[in-house]
Amino acid sequence: MGVEKLRAVWDRLGSDDLLWAVLSDPEQRGGQWRIDEFLATGPAHLDRYVIPTLRLHDVPFGQRVLDFGCGVGRLTRALTAHTPAVVGVDIAASMIDAAKRINGDIEGASFVHYDGRTLPFPDDSFDTVVSLIVLQHVPPAVQVAALLELNRVVRPGGHVLVQIPSYAKHVEGLDAPACRASIALLEIPTAARPGEALRLRTRVTNLGDQPWREQHGVKLGNHWYEGEMMFVQDDGRAVLGGDVGPGESVEVELPVRVPDRCGEFDLVLDLVQEYVAWWAELGNEQIRIPVMVADRSEQASVRQADVSALPGGRPARNGRVVPMKNSGHDHDGIEMHGMSFELVNALFRHCGSEIVSAGLDDLAGPEWVSRTYLVRAGEA
């Protein structure tokens, strides 16, 4: 993914599901975040991930702070309690527009859009840079360029506090005989409009020969197809809520977002073991629901006319299974990328800067080893 695609992805997310795009809690997808609860995560994250590190090393925020990858300004807003001037910068114009609306009454906060390449600030512009839950969603080449830019705009002797995952944890894959499940829909929505957020009540039953442990990372997810073409690969995700033994069932509410244009689509439900496989790849049966997406005036309906087994492909009209093809519109576009400690350290040392600390954090989720770095900028 290049800079242009990255910018387009986050601009779209900023328009489609603004707050969820910033904090992707599965329970809050589809406009479920309350703005007050969302904004409260800003001070909470500062108190947990930023302030203790700065205090431990006797580092003040200084007079001017940059919030890199500010989104809608939840950290920018919180930082104004600790420093006179905070600038939030983001690659997505939709995010910056929202940040200005949401934080228009916050003294000391300002917001700037940038092109994803060069930050629109002179060298040595800031005392401190803060960035959480940002670079993990940036492809490797852009990660490197971004760190160089952060090092450039912070003054000599200033500090960069940035969170980056180091690597994905090893996930023990379940054996294929354990990856057997049935998925039953408990409620069928009666209407679907373009871009509408739905929450599907389902019952998932373990038909395998061993328990699904919570640490296995088994989740319910869905795809959207248009004909034989994949339209959205990764849409909703829902955890199962604990261990599920053979023969046991659990009710799961799956948040999904209807495709953003009218047409005939297939909603396909499957289980997935994160960073291992979708279970259809292992022979498990998916279920398929034909969905007519239309404006309200056209009385759109989600029909259960053909909820059929789908073993790795979509049944053609003659009953044969044909392979699913990828249209290129494969998922929301949110990617995860790590950057090794060795590379981060070498990059900053090359610039004459020094890593003061690199504490472990949980900001990238349970599947990743992640660190929050405190870097002292050098004179180079």
The pLDDT score that the predictor gives to residue 296 is: 65
User: Model pTM?
Assistant: 0.68
Please say whether the dihedral angle defined by the alpha carbons of residues 315, 320, 323 and 327, taken in this order, is positive or negative.
negative
pLDDT higher than threshold 80 for residue 21: no
The pLDDT score that the predictor gives to residue 324 is: 30
Instruction: State mean pLDDT over 179-208.
Output: 87
pLDDT higher than threshold 50 for residue 302: no
- Encode pLDDT of 276-297 as tens digits: 889 998 999 998 989 999 886 5
Contact, 353 vs 153, CB < 8 A?
Answer: no
The pLDDT > 90 percentage for the chain reads: 54
The owner of tokens 């431990």 is: 56
Residue 208 CA to residue 176 CA, distance in Å, equals 9
Tell me the one-letter amino acid at 40: A
| Structural domains of the chain, ranges and CATH numbers in brackets | 3-168+340-376 (3.40.50.150), 176-326 (2.60.40.10)
pLDDT higher than threshold 60 for residue 95: yes
pLDDT higher than threshold 50 for residue 321: no
pLDDT higher than threshold 70 for residue 187: yes
The pLDDT score that the predictor gives to residue 327 is: 30
Q: Phi and psi at residue 34, in whole multiples of 5°?
A: -85, 135
Residue 273: both structure tokens together:
């073991």
Which of 104-118, 138-152, 223-237 has the lowest average pLDDT? 223-237
- Encode pLDDT of 38-69 as tens digits: 899 999 999 999 999 999 999 999 999 999 99
DSSP codes joined into one string, 5-57:
HHHHHHHHHHHHSHHHHHS--GGGTTTT--HHHHHHHHHHHIIIIIHHHHHHT
User: How do the residues of the chain divide into helix, strand and coil, expressed in percent and rounded to 5?
Assistant: 25, 35, 40
Average pLDDT of the chain is: 84
